[in-house]
Chains A and B, each alone.
Chain A
Amino acid sequence: GIQVEQSPPDLILQEGANSTLRCNFSDSVNNLQWFHQNPWGQLINLFYIPSGTKQNGRLSATTVATERYSLLYISSSQTTDSGVYFCAVNSGGGADGLTFGKGTHLIIQP
């Protein structure tokens, strides 16, 4: 099945800093999503981005499907941005369901 690798696994930043999270995947995808998991475990949708670039406030994402990677940018980090960020993909071909990376654990210090 498709492999998803996220980097870095852990990231500690000061409030106000910018960060870039990376997601590499091993096959072409029909679906790519970025999530933020809150302290209670719920996955919050950030972006649905199988290709192209999107922006939502301080967050933006870019997926280069031909090169099999996606980037999530967080600007002017706030302590509330802390948590685990997951990239998840679906390669289709009958393999329904999202395949998740192991996540990036982001800690924003005041």
Chain B
Amino acid sequence: KAGVTQTPRYLIKTRGQQVTLSCSPISGHRSVSWYQQTPGQGLQFLFEYFSETQRNKGNFPGRFSGRQFSNSRSEMNVSTLELGDSALYLCASSLGTSSYNEQFFGPGTRLTVL
């Protein structure tokens, strides 16, 4: 069974631009969560989608948004990029919600904002 896939793997943008990252979960998994990893803040939860609905959102500004499609694939969008948005963005999928179910992570998208 294929693992979680994320595209693109690397991305370079400039301040003020917007970016869209994509995540395809493990086949059969209905929950997709997104995390941001930075050297200063570590790994932080962004949001989780289950059956196309956002279940919860971490402490991030409204510039960070996401959605989930009927095939469980998910995208996250960051608008008006700031230098501090440079990070590794990780996507995870699980059979059910992340509260009780084991999560499996993709390889990540490394975003650099110049």
Contact = CB atoms under 8 A, between A and B. Distances in A.
Q: Do A and B truly interact?
A: yes
Interface of A: 30-31, 33, 35, 40-43, 45, 48, 86, 88, 90, 92, 94-100, 102-103
Nearest to A91: B99
B7 interface: no
Contacts of B97: 96
- Contact size range, B: 20 to 34
B102 A90 contact: no
B60 to A, nearest CB: 11
B21 to A, nearest CB: 14
B55 A96 contact: yes
A30 B105 contact: no
18 contacts: A31-B99, A31-B101, A33-B103, A40-B108, A41-B90, A42-B105, A45-B102, A45-B104, A92-B100, A96-B33, A96-B98, A97-B33, A97-B35, A97-B47, A98-B43, A99-B45, A100-B43, A100-B44
Contacts of B35: 97-98, 100
B110 interface: yes
Given A42-B108, A43-B90, A96-B48, A30 B100 contact: yes
Contacts of A31: 98-103
Given A43-B105, A92-B99, 17 more contacts: A31-B98, A33-B103, A40-B108, A43-B90, A43-B92, A48-B102, A88-B43, A90-B99, A90-B100, A96-B56, A96-B98, A97-B45, A97-B98, A98-B35, A98-B103, A100-B43, A102-B42
Contacts of B88: 41
B56 A95 contact: yes
B86 interface: no
Nearest to A99: B45
Contacts of B55: 96
Interface string B83-114: 00000101010000111111111111010000
